[in-house]
Amino acid sequence: VGEQGGVLPRAAALYAGYDLKAAGVQVNRFCASGLEAVNQAAAQVMAGQSDLTVAGGVESMSRVKIMSAGAAWYQDPEVAFPTYFIPQGISADLIATRQGYSRDDVDAFAVESQRRAAEAWKDNRFAKSIEPVKDQNGLTILAKDEHMRPGTTMQSLASLEPSFAEMGAKAGYDEVAILRYPEVEKIRHVHHAGNSSGIVDGAAAILIGTKEMGQRLGLKPRARIKSFASVGSEPSIMLTGPSFAAEKALKRAGMDAKDIDLYEVNEAFASVVLLFMEKTGVPHEKINVNGGSIALGHPLGATGAIIMGTLLDELERSGKSTGLATLCIGAGMGTATVIERL
């Protein structure tokens, strides 16, 4: 749609001055599109169909609004009604309601995300992956994520009203959620701007290739992609896919959850990560150690590649070996990727 339409990777390659033989392709898996691009590039390399690929994603949410595409999933009654479509914020509140997460639970998670992100920025942990934005004169106009709120406290979050209560009541989405999950008597709306991912712009790119091509170009590989997986999950509650995708990717790698040193689980909403921890038994100490999308923002198509870079940077900084990145996805899906530092 708009500036994000067409075949953006080909346009970017031409603009960047790449060889004219460099082709481009655009993929869409909603919030996991950036990670899906990485996985597809890795699959081509593994199959011997590619030697070197730049994979990643981009999203300008300030210029192309969320849901601008007008997709059948949420606009066509013949598709939306049978699948009990509800907006993602209602789905996040539905997770919190079903799992018994309180307002304090999700707010405390958000405060910790902000604290970790602030500490990471102060410690310069993102330096390897941040590329400053410059104007036409070569002057840096943006060198740091703007969404962070380092002073966030439980008290400041308590002043925020739930974001999705009015939508759930007036548009009938709460009723739809209860129709799909009749054991729920009432949706408890606990999510708001402070414990949900930020609406931001962003882009990320990762270079993926064969060992031989790396040697030819004098490049030293930083990590190996061991496995990846995508799964479908129940589309109404929608945001439960990360644990299922992680389980599938780990099985393909011949690993268990305990074999992973660090996790990046996209913080679309606080309840998503709380559910992941509950389902997998992975402690918070291993997850999003430098904060997540609640603090840093979630530029939808870019986030998957962003968290892969964040994960690798932290594995190198901390001297750890294995990592897993995963995201929940609209319409009920999850994608996960397992990497090993070299």
189 is catalytic: no
Catalytically annotated residue among 147, 189, 192, 328: 328
- Residue 114 is predicted with a pLDDT of 99
39, part of any domain: yes
Rounded percentage of the chain residues whose pLDDT exceeds 90: 95
H or E element, residue 85: none
Task: Report the amino acid identity of residue 25.
Answer: V
Residue 2 has pLDDT above 90, yes or no: no
Q: How would you class 184 by CB atoms within 10 Å of its CB: exposed for 0-12, middle for 13-18, buried for 19 or more?
A: middle
Question: Per residue in 267-325, pLDDT tens?
Answer: 999 999 999 999 999 999 999 999 999 999 999 999 999 999 999 999 999 999 999 99
Which region among 69-83, 180-194, 199-213, 268-282 has the lowest average model confidence (pLDDT)? 69-83
Residue 57, CB half-sphere, CA atoms under 13 Å: how many?
30
Distance of alpha carbon 311 from alpha carbon 287, whole angstroms: 10
- Residue 150 is predicted with a pLDDT of 95
- Residue 65 is predicted with a pLDDT of 87
- Residue 5 is predicted with a pLDDT of 82
Q: In this structure, how many other beta carbons lie within 10 angstroms of the beta carbon of residue 153?
A: 12
- Residue 3 is predicted with a pLDDT of 81
Residue 4 has pLDDT above 90, yes or no: no
Q: Are residues 228 and 172 in the same domain?
A: no
191 is catalytic: no
Q: What DSSP character marks residue 162?
A: P
Residue 142 has pLDDT above 90, yes or no: yes
Q: Which two tokens stand for residue 220?
A: 């030293």
Q: Which two tokens stand for residue 22?
A: 């460099």
192 is catalytic: no
Q: Are residues 7 and 123 in the same domain?
A: no
Number of separate domains in the chain: 2
Q: What DSSP character marks residue 258?
A: G
Q: Are residues 43 and 134 in the same domain?
A: no
- Residue 267 is predicted with a pLDDT of 99
192, part of any domain: no
Range of the domain at 209: 2-66+199-341
Q: Which two tokens stand for residue 60?
A: 């300008």
For residue 96, give Cα distances in angstroms to 29, 151, 166, 191. 24, 25, 17, 9
- Average pLDDT of the residues of the chain: 97
Tell me the mean pLDDT in the region 240-261: 99
Catalytically annotated residue among 31, 189, 191, 192: 31
Question: Per residue in 156-194, pLDDT tens?
Answer: 999 999 999 999 999 999 999 999 999 999 999 999 999
- Residue 67 is predicted with a pLDDT of 83
Q: Are residues 154 and 106 in the same domain?
A: yes
47, part of any domain: yes
Q: Are residues 237 and 321 in the same domain?
A: yes
> How would residue 69 be classed by pLDDT, with cut points 50, 70 and 90?
confident
Q: What share of the chain is helix, strand, coil (3-state, %, to 5)?
A: 45, 15, 40
Residue 19 has pLDDT above 90, yes or no: yes
Highest mean pLDDT among 1-10, 68-77, 284-293 belongs to: 284-293
Q: How would you class 10 by CB atoms within 10 Å of its CB: exposed for 0-12, middle for 13-18, buried for 19 or more?
A: middle
Q: What is the CATH number of the domain that holds 243?
A: 3.40.47.10
Q: Are residues 131 and 244 in the same domain?
A: no
Q: Are residues 210 and 284 in the same domain?
A: yes
191, part of any domain: no
> How would residue 214 be classed by pLDDT, with cut points 50, 70 and 90?
very high
- Residue 70 is predicted with a pLDDT of 83
Catalytically annotated residue among 147, 191, 192, 298: 298
Q: Are residues 96 and 62 in the same domain?
A: no
> How would residue 1 be classed by pLDDT, with cut points 50, 70 and 90?
confident
131, part of any domain: yes
